[in-house]
Amino acid sequence: MLKISLPNTKKYIPLILLSRLAKLIQQDQGVRQFLLTNLLPANPSSGKPLRFRIPIDILADSLPSLGDFPLECTDLDCPRYERPALFIKGTQSGYIQPTHYPLMERMFPKMQVVELDGSHWIHVDQPDGVLMTMYALISFGFELMVGPSL
């Protein structure tokens, strides 16, 4: 598990200082906030370092495969999902790019992309928008939500 150790620290570290330290490691504010909310405080007199409540080392090791999306495939090895698929994307997120759409359409021929104003953490930035989008899909069906043809 990743630990932050600040030797000879006699007082609690202010959250603002931790936030500034985290900015040196991670530029994305949403990721920093996620990490800081999962940081468990330690009593400085105990001599124990700060630690994360989640197994950050396992998460860090898994991120490449979690975020991996094949950027090309052939007709022979391109997986296809033939049912409706909905992608909800933040307009400020760099994870789904318009250049990915042709491949996504090959893999998900009945896909629809809904863009909401926000970052990669769209469920945090626009919880009502995400909920309403999902509600429309569940309540009215995919065709009604996106139109009769894709």
DSSP, collapsed to helix, strand or coil, labels residue 47 as coil
% of the chain at pLDDT higher than 90: 17
Final residue of a structural domain among 66, 94, 112: 66
Do 112 and 87 touch, CB atoms closer than 8 A? yes
The reply to whether 47 falls in a domain is yes
55 and 94 in a single domain? The answer is: no
Q: In which domain, by residue range, is 9 found?
A: 3-66
98 and 53 in a single domain? The answer is: no
Q: pTM score > 0.75 for this model?
A: no
Count of alpha carbons within 13 Å of 70, Cβ hemisphere only? 11
d(CA 52, CA 38) in angstroms, rounded, equals 6
91 and 137 in a single domain? The answer is: yes
55 and 93 in a single domain? The answer is: no
For residue 23, is pLDDT > 60? yes
Mean pLDDT value of segment 21-48: 69
The reply to whether 73 falls in a domain is no
| Owner of token pair 């042709």 | 102
Q: List the structure tokens of 46.
A: 């105990």
Mean pLDDT value of segment 52-56: 76
| Number of domains the chain contains | 2
At 9, the pLDDT band (50, 70, 90 cuts) reads very low
For residue 16, is pLDDT > 50? yes
Least confident range from 1-5, 59-63, 98-102, 111-115: namely: 1-5
The reply to whether 71 falls in a domain is no
At 2, the pLDDT band (50, 70, 90 cuts) reads very low
49 and 91 in a single domain? The answer is: no
Q: Which long-range contacts (CB under 8 A, 24 or more apart) does 53-57 make?
A: 55/1, 56/1, 56/2, 57/1, 57/2
Nearest partner of 119 among 18, 37, 20, 28, judged by Cα? 28
Give pLDDT tens digits for 72-82: 787 778 888 99
Final residue of a structural domain among 34, 66, 98: 66
Quote the pLDDT of residue 147. Answer: 47
The reply to whether 77 falls in a domain is no
Mean pLDDT value of segment 6-35: 60
Give pLDDT tens digits for 67-115: 666 667 877 788 889 988 899 999 998 888 888 899 899 999 999 899 9
User: Phi/psi at 40 (nearest 5 deg)?
Assistant: -90, 130
DSSP, collapsed to helix, strand or coil, labels residue 86 as strand
| Owner of token pair 């021929």 | 109
91 and 61 in a single domain? The answer is: no
Quote the pLDDT of residue 117. Answer: 95
